[in-house]
Amino acid sequence: MSRSTLSILIRSTAVTGALTGISAQDLEFLRALDRAQLERPTTLSATARIAPEAEPGTPLVVHGRAFAADGTTALPNAVVFAYHTDRGGVYDRPGAPPHSWRLKGWTRTGTDGRFEFRTMRPGRYPGRREAAHIHVTLYAPDGSRSSGDVLFEDDALVTAASRAAARRDGGFGSVRPVRREAGVEHVDFNIRVATSQRF
* 32/72: higher pLDDT: 72
Closest CA relative to residue 154, chosen from 173, 131, 122: 131
Evaluate if residue 2 carries a pLDDT over 50. Answer: no
Measured CA angle at 109 (ends 2, 131), to 5 deg? 40
Question: Which band of pLDDT confidence, cut at 50, 70 and 90, is reported for residue 30?
Answer: confident
Residue-wise pLDDT for 37-62, tens only, equals: 888 989 999 999 999 999 999 999 99
More confident residue, 109 or 125: 109
Q: Cα–Cα distances in Å, from 161 out to 76, 158, 164, 190?
A: 32, 8, 5, 19
- Predicted local distance difference test score (pLDDT) of residue 51: 96
Question: 91 or 61: whose pLDDT is higher?
Answer: 61
Measure the N-to-C terminal CA separation of the chain; round to a whole number of Å: 13
Tell me the whole-structure pTM to 2 decimals. Answer: 0.84
Query: What is the CATH class of 44-192?
Result: mainly beta
Stretch 54-75: mean pLDDT? 97
